[in-house]
Structure 1
């Protein structure tokens, strides 16, 4: 299992410091968020200098908070594609070959669905070409089923990847699925998974520490033992809430329970 941590689990410090902090946790790598770089106005060169002293792997998360690949406004769509292209360049410079990108959203809830789906295909096809030019892989994320989100189910994601063809992978987010959904079954139904985002969720909050939400995690963790893609611990820690440490305590306890179960046979 290749455990990574999202840099946003150390949002209270710049990316350069966050990477060093995460490196002390014994994880395989870090997923660097573009917004984290922008918030602290950290230079790529400063991050590269820190990377030189660490033996970590890296993935990247493109900007999403201010963007919309399927916006009704063409200028917004073009700006969104441009910002994501810039993230491909950043990822290449930071030796992060896999870049998570959020799909577009509806401009108005429950309106113009077919038009937005067409724009999603067009934008994704352009991004696949751009990603290839920078030597990175586009990984489209399956989102939570909330208002205006366009791709929230394995079926919707599979339709997109089937149409786009080669050059696209999928970021499967455990916490984005409804609590009534069988996560392992949804995982098996989703094609081209190249990365997994891992956290817990409750009826009112996504991305809480593992074991502190309502997801039935035992079968999920068992499934993840048998995958080779990066497993990225997620969350937003703005104030020293020790979210990463709480994630890791759950993982360690799960390992101990597995060992104890085996020793009983």
Structure 2
């Protein structure tokens, strides 16, 4: 099983610090958030060189904060498509094989019109990714109001009569209501490219895997190791102490995942 971590766990680090940390601690790769790279003004060519030097792989997470490519507001919708296309460009420049994309959201409430707009926008995004040779990994979101894709049923509705060839899927543990749903999502999809792993405590999502939470993380990781699917440790931490990624790394070493 390959183990990656999210670049946002080292929000204030340089490109070199992130790549070196991955290499020195047994990680196979990094999920580079395009918003992170842009905000920190990372040199993507330099980042790619560092990954080659240190033998670290990369996937890219498309920009998602503040975006909605199914918005009824044309300006928001067009800006969202543009930003996701720029994330695909980042993946191309990084030499990444795939980009993680969040589904869109309903503007007010569930509506056929919103759904159709989202499908049309996704088709435009996918066509762009196909031309760049970048695969899309479509993420299943948490069960909250306005999210269009939160489970297998809503995913099937979204991709009905659409070209989803060569689209893979990202299953996020913390987005699932329980462990049964998590494994059902994995087993129901033909092409799961990776798992986003964090814990949760009640309604608080994306808590550290190194802390107690609703999920038995060690048991899940052991099963994923047999399954062989790629796992990305998610989270966010600003500052220069990197306490969370250090704790997560120590935990992963303890359970022999890295």
Superposition TM-score, scaled by structure 1 size: 0.87
For structure 2, list consecutive stretches of 5 or more residues without a partner in the other structure.
none
In 1, Cα distance between the equivalents of 2:81 and 2:16?
26
Structure 1, unpaired ranges of 5+? 257-265
Which residue of structure 1 lines up, in the alignment, with residue 252 of structure 2? 251
Which position in structure 2 is the counterpart of 1:154? 152
Q: Specify the SS of the correspondent of 1:225.
A: helix
Partner of 2:196: 197
Aligned to 2:26: 26
Cα separation, 1, equivalents of 2:175 and 2:145: 13
Pick closer, same or farther for the CA change 1:163–1:202 going to 2, 3 Å: farther
CA pair 54-118 structure 1, distance change in 2 beyond 3 A: same
Per-residue displacement from partner, 1:154-177 (whole Å, max 9, x unpaired)? 221233345323131111111111
Contact 1:121 1:163 in 2 (8 A): no
Question: 1:209 aligned to 2:199?
Answer: no
The aligned counterpart of 2:122 is: 124
For 1:169, the equivalent position in structure 2 comes to: 168
Matches within 5 A, 1:8-157: 8-108=8-108, 111-157=109-155
Tell me if the contact between 1:184 and 1:220 (Cα under 8 Å) persists in the aligned partners.
no
Partner of 1:222: 222
Compared with structure 1, are the counterparts of its residues 46 and 202 closer, same or farther at alpha carbon in structure 2 (3 Å cutoff)? same
- Aligned residue pairs, count: 254
Deviation, 1:63, is 0.3
CA change 1:253–1:47 in 2 (3 A) is: closer
* Structure 2 residue 2 is matched with structure 1 residue 2: yes
Deviation at 1:218, TM superposition (A): 4.5
**Offset at residue 96 of structure 1 (A):** 0.9
The structural deviation recorded for 1:74 is 1.4
CA RMSD of aligned residues (A): 2.1
User: 1:233 offset after TM fit, Å?
Assistant: 0.8
- Indicate conservation of the 8 Å contact 1:30/1:59, yes or no: yes
Q: Which moved more, 1:19-28 or 1:154-163?
A: 154-163
TM-score under structure 2 length normalisation: 0.90
Structure 1: how far apart are the matches of 2:226 and 2:117? 35
Q: Does 1:184 align with 2:209?
A: no
